[in-house]
Every structure is written in C-alpha cells, then in structure tokens.
Amino acid sequence: MRLSTLVEEAARTATAQRVSSAMVAVLCAAICTVTLLTVGRTAAAEETVLARLDTAGSRLLVVSDDRDAGLVTPAVLQVLSGLDTVERVVGVDTPFDVVNGVVGDGAERVPAWRVAGDPAQVVSLVEGRWPAPGEALVSDAARRRLGMAEPFGFATDTAGVEYPVVGAFTARAPFEAFEAGLVVVADPATATDSVHLVVTGVEAARITEALTLALLAPPDLSQVSVQSPAALADLQRAVSGDLGEYGRGILLLTLGGGAFLIAVVVLAEVLLRRRDLGRRRALGASRWALVGLMVNRTVIAAMPGAAVGTVVGLVAVMRAGDPVPVGFAVAVALLTVLVAAVAAVLPAVLAATRDPVSVLRTP
Amino acid sequence: MLAVDDLHFAYRRGRQELFGGLTHEFTPGAVTGVTGPSGRGKSTLLYVLGLMLRPSAGQVRYDGQPVHGLSDVDRSHLRAVQVGFVFQDAVLDASRSVLDAVVEPALYAGARRRDVVGRARELLEELGIEIRAEHRPGEISGGQAQRVALCRALVNDPRVVLADEPTGNLDRDNADVVLRVLRRAAQAGRTVVIATHDPYVLEHVDEVLAL
C-alpha cells in the first residue's frame, strides 16, 4: 500500500467514523487546553520570575576597598572590562557633598560621585557634552536643588575644589542612585574606593566575584567587602528547579492521562469494528498497513482537536494575564498529536494481530 | 495454478484435524464447488487457499510455488493482487460508499484511488448498480450488496476468486446473478472456488470437491 494512499484512506476513515474521531479530537483539545492553563501558566510565571531576577539591578556586583589601599586601579578596571562575564564596569568613589559654586557655602548640598572609566557605562548624556577628567554632569533633580537654571556652571566641594558642570544626564540602571546628584569623571591615573560590575547574568556572579578578588589581590580578605548577586543565582536555580519540576509533573500527568483515554477510545473502536478490520486483512491489507491506518487516522483526528484546544488555551491564559510564549503553545500541540499517535499504536497492533477469520465467518 | 498438497489444518494443536492430507489441483477457467457436511472445513479451506490461515502440514501452491512460508507482507500482497474474496454477507463498511468498498482491495495492491475508480465504476455498471455508487451499504438491498462484493472481488482482476457461501443470504433471482458473474469470471480464465452446501449452487459448478 502506498504511503500517500494510506494517509488518504486514513483521512477518509477518520471522516467516515465521526464519533470516535470526535472523541479523539475532544480529548486532544482538552489535553492542550489543560496543559496551557496549568503548565503554560507555570512556565509563564517562571519566565517572569527569572526575568525579574535577571534585571540589571539583580546583576550588580560591588567590591569595595574598605581601607583605601588603592586596590581598584585603572589597570584592574581595564582587565575586568575585558571579561566575557562582565557587561559594564566602573570604579566609584565614596560620594561627597557639593554646592552650586556660584551661590557658595550655605547653598543646598547634593551628593557627587567620582567615577573612573567610561561614564557612558553609568549615565546617558541628555544635554551638553561628555565631561573630561575633573568635570561633572548633573542630573535634572540635582540641578533644581542646586538652583542652576541650566546644566552648566560649576559645583564646589567642602574643600573648595571646583568641578565644571558641562551637561545633564539620566542614570542608567542599576545606577539610579546617581540621579540624586553629580557624576564627576575621575582622574584616569587614580584608584577608586570600589568597583561596580554589571555581570551578564546572575549565574556569572560567583565566577566574576572570584576573578575580581583575584585581580584586586588584597593582602587580607577583611580589607574588602563584597555585595554579590550570587545568592540570587542560587534563588534563581531554586525557583527554576521548583517551578520546572512542578510543570513537568503536571505535564506528565496530563499527557499520560490523555494518552490513556485516547488509547481506550481507539481500543473500543478496534473491538467494535473487528469485522471491518478482518475485512481489510482478507482484502489484502498487511498487519503494518492496518497499524499505519489506525495510527494515521488517530493523528488526523487529533490535529484539529489540538489546534482548537491550543487556541482556546492561549486565549484563556491571555485573558488571565499570563501570556504563554507561542512557541510553547505550538510545542504543546505537536506533543499532544505525538502522544495521540503513540497511544494508538498498542490498540492498532492488537487489531492487526487478531485472527480475521474468526470475525469474518458467518455461523 | 492453484493447488494443495497433503493438506492438514487444525485451529489449535491437538484439536480436530481437517482435510486429512488433501491433495488437489484447481482447474483454471472452471468453477469448483467445495462441499461437505458442516464442520468439515469448507470455509476453512477457502481461508487457507486465500492465505489467511497457515496449514498445519502440507502446502498451498500458486503457480507451482509453495506460498505458506511467505512473510505476512508478501502473503498480504499476494492476496491483494491475485485473490478476490466473496463472503456470505458481503461484509461492506457501513460508513463508506459502495464505490469506496469496490476500490478498497486495489489500494492494498498498491494502486492509487484515482487510477482505479474508473474500473470500479465499470464493474458496478456491468452488474447494474452503478447508480448506487455513492450510496452507503445500509441504503441498498442484500442482493445489491452481494453484487458490490463481487465487484470488489474482481476489481484487481485476480487469478483466483474464492467465494464462501456467496448465495447463502440471497433469493433465487439474486443467487442466479451471483452465479452468472462467477461463471463469467471463470470463463475469463480465473480459478473460481465456491464453498457451499446448497445443491442449487452445486448444479452450476464445473467440478465438485467433497470434503
């Protein structure tokens, strides 16, 4: 029997035997909908949680030179910026107070951070130009507090050092704290108090932390303090593991239960249509042709059911506010059709191996 | 071309043996009636000849070649291509059309549906039921159903036609139609074997094989 003929004959049989085809279709639709409403929502929740854990704020690693031992040198920053696990890196000094230089002492104070490295790693320029070493950018909030009409002028620290303000910035995540004041570009030859690294993912935090400490090489580990997202990486793994395990359990239960019910429907059809199958054998269908016919007709009945069930499930989860990735929904539909095919194999083999003569003989 | 040598058959080991070492060559172009009391294996012989049952001992030969040792796929193909079956009660699929029923064996023989539909309609026309081609079996009479079964048995132009009590459920007029068609099939050079206990059918056969 030709493969194309077998598929065509399976389609005609599926169309002719509407009741069992409809039952297979309904079961497949139910499998897809239930899977999307349970596993799909779990997967969406897992994705949301992991996305939150993966924001820049959750990926910030800070190593501070607590005793001002000059550990965070420009050379160290240079090496760190070349690591694959590092997205951005800057050296940052402890903030100090500045006032509007025009107003002088008595004016409102705002904090200023001396930043070593490329300032574009921490702020975006919105007006003016990028500052040279010793020059500063001011945030909009700080400009208002300083009483500056434009983001140009100069600020003065408590020691009387002047910092020309050459433009305005908005802070990039996770450096939103800089919105409170000024960012001063540090002298490229000087060390800073701490190094701020945005790692590529929380899972890269532990290795980056180890590399950073190795580069800083403090004589005594008590000289440095570390704020690391490594604990978040452990949390991420735990959340991912728990949700994944729960989802897999539900998926297996749904698919297993669905497969059992589909197998029961196909088996019932085999038992009810023994004479039909015996006739096919008598007319020249091989056992494998019979198995192929039964499996293909089950798949043909399963496909529209899976499609409808997937659409219904997608709409339901979207209305519930948990959008499931379309790729996941398509995978569920394909998996359901595959499960239907596998579930049909055993009853089909049973049908193919039954003695056709006993059902064809008329007493 | 169809023959059996020293044929024995038992449905289960240790159960009653049938045929008792039957040896017989069926004559191509003739209608052979297989008869005998109930339980002697008339229908069983047809299923053995049609390669649906394997003999316990002895062999079935097609064109001189023993075929009982062939694989299921080869036996099924041989059955589809060379054998046409007619059952007592037609055995048509209630959910498919008459035309689908006639086309069915050709599909198992490897033909495409579109290539065999014309031949199926010709056969239905020859037997006067072309008008029923799109009807379901439940919409035609028993006699018409048996004519459909005859068309189905002949659609692959088989060399052997095996009929198991083909007139058992028919009135005399419809039985005559069936016998005429089987006679024509034999006249075309086919080997036709009818299992029957009906004396009227035996009057219309060329050879009788009594079990």
What are the boundaries of each domain within chain B? 2-210
CB B200 within 8 A of CB B168: no
3-state helix, strand, coil in chain B (%, to 5): 40, 25, 40
> How far is the first Cα of chain B from the last one, in angstroms, to the nearest whole number?
21
- Could you read off the pLDDT of A87-116 as tens digits, one per residue? 999 999 999 999 998 887 778 899 999 999
B160: left (phi over 0), alpha (psi -120 to 50) or beta: beta
* pLDDT attached to residue A80: 92
Amino acid at A19: V
With cut-offs at 50, 70 and 90, classify the pLDDT of residue B128. Answer: confident
* Chain B residue with minimum CA distance to A18: B95
User: In this structure, what token pair is assigned to residue B69?
Assistant: 């040792």
The size of chain B, in residues, is 211
* pLDDT attached to residue B97: 92
Query: Residue B165 burial by CB count (10 A; 0-12/13-18/19+): exposed, middle or buried?
Result: buried
Of B91, B96, B100, the CB nearest to A360: B91
* pLDDT attached to residue A57: 66
Q: ipTM of this predicted complex?
A: 0.88
* pLDDT attached to residue A341: 95
* pLDDT attached to residue A296: 94
CB A181 within 8 A of CB A109: no
Confirm or reject contact between A361 and chain B (CB < 8 A): yes
* Chain B residue with minimum CA distance to A278: B91
With cut-offs at 50, 70 and 90, classify the pLDDT of residue B118. Answer: very high
B21: left (phi over 0), alpha (psi -120 to 50) or beta: left
User: In this structure, what token pair is assigned to residue A244?
Assistant: 């994944």
CB B207 within 8 A of CB B27: yes
Confirm or reject contact between A17 and chain B (CB < 8 A): yes
Confirm or reject contact between B50 and chain A (CB < 8 A): yes
Omega prior to A119 cis, within 30 of 0: no
- How far does Cα A248 stand from its chain's mean position? 17
Which residues in chain B have their CB less than 8 angstroms from residue A301's CB? Answer: none
Question: What is the rounded CA–CA span in Å between residue A340 and residue A140?
Answer: 62
* pLDDT attached to residue A13: 87
* Chain B residue with minimum CA distance to A17: B95
User: In this structure, what token pair is assigned to residue B9?
Assistant: 């058959």
- Could you read off the pLDDT of B183-195 as tens digits, one per residue? 999 999 999 999 9
* Chain A residue with minimum CA distance to B11: A358
Q: Are B108 and A16 in contact (CB < 8 Å)? A: no
3-state secondary structure of B160: strand
Contacts of B133 by beta carbon, 8 Å cutoff, 6+ apart = B97, B98, B99, B120, B121, B124
In terms of Cα–Cα distance, which of A40, A10, A35, A22 is closest to A305?
A22
Of A5, A275, A361, the CB nearest to B107: A5
Which residues in chain A have their CB less than 8 angstroms from residue B157's CB? Answer: none
Please report, for residues A136, A163, A247, the alpha-carbon distance to residue A152 in angstroms, rounded to integers and kept in the order given: 9, 11, 56
- Could you read off the pLDDT of B157-172 as tens digits, one per residue? 999 999 998 888 788 8
- Could you read off the pLDDT of B75-117 as tens digits, one per residue? 999 999 999 998 878 888 888 899 999 999 999 998 898 999 9
* pLDDT attached to residue B126: 86
Return contacts of A40-43, CB within 8 angstroms, 24+ apart: A40/A313, A40/A317, A40/A322, A40/A324, A40/A328, A40/A329, A40/A332, A41/A317, A41/A320, A41/A322, A41/A324, A42/A243, A42/A246, A42/A247, A42/A250, A43/A243, A43/A247, A43/A324, A43/A325, A43/A328
- Could you read off the pLDDT of B47-75 as tens digits, one per residue? 999 998 889 889 999 988 898 888 888 99
Residue A258 has a CB neighbour count (10 Å cut-off) of 22
Q: Are A17 and B76 in contact (CB < 8 Å)? A: no
CA angle A270, A274, A279 (to 5 degrees): 125
Question: What is the rounded CA–CA span in Å between residue A88 and residue A66?
Answer: 22
Every domain of chain A and the residues it spans: 3-52+236-360, 56-232
Confirm or reject contact between A357 and chain B (CB < 8 A): yes
Nearest Cα of chain A lies from the Cα of B108 at a distance, in angstroms, of 5
Confirm or reject contact between B108 and chain A (CB < 8 A): yes
Beta-bridge mates of residue A97: A111
pLDDT tens by residue, chain A, 363 residues: 788 888 988 998 888 888 999 999 999 999 999 988 888 777 777 777 777 766 666 788 999 998 888 889 999 999 999 999 999 999 999 999 999 988 877 788 999 999 999 999 999 999 999 999 999 999 999 999 999 999 999 999 988 899 999 999 999 988 999 999 999 999 988 899 999 999 888 778 888 989 998 988 888 888 889 888 777 667 777 877 788 788 888 888 989 999 999 999 999 988 888 888 888 988 989 888 999 999 999 999 999 999 999 999 888 888 887 777 888 889 999 999 999 999 999 999 988 887 777 777 665
Share of chain B above pLDDT 70, in %: 99
Class (C level, CATH) for B2-210:
alpha beta
